[in-house]
Amino acid sequence: MYCPNCGSSINENAEICVHCGVNVLKFDTQVTVVKNDTPNMWVNILSLCCFPIIGVIIYFVWKDTQPKAAKAAIIYALFGIAIKIILMIFAFIIGLTAEMMDDSYYYE
């Protein structure tokens, strides 16, 4: 059985999830959780390298029905955003350094 809140595997007779503390009895048993809740490799790759917004959107779409896949999608999206920010800062520093090393900058 899986927790309907966090998607962690829990005991069949559990009343409370040991991972997130949610009362699992108040949820319908396994109605909202899809049995095949594995992270989608293609969504994760697209979220990481190309379009991090896809991972954010997929997270909000899948968070109730596929919590593990949704969590993986948002993690890859956040890493993708962080990588893009680091690359933009690096490109800015390289561009600024290249501009400062131009001789005409100092001798005009």
Q: How confident is the model at residue 10 (pLDDT cuts 50, 70, 90)?
A: confident
* Residue 66 domain boundaries: 34-106
11 and 26 in a single domain? The answer is yes
pTM of this structure: 0.57
The pLDDT of residue 32 is 47
98 and 47 in a single domain? The answer is yes
67 and 98 in a single domain? The answer is yes
Residue carrying structure tokens 């059985």: 1
16 and 55 in a single domain? The answer is no
Of the chain, the percentage scoring pLDDT greater than 90 comes to: 20
Express each pLDDT in 41-73 by its tens digit.
888 888 888 888 888 888 898 888 888 888 998
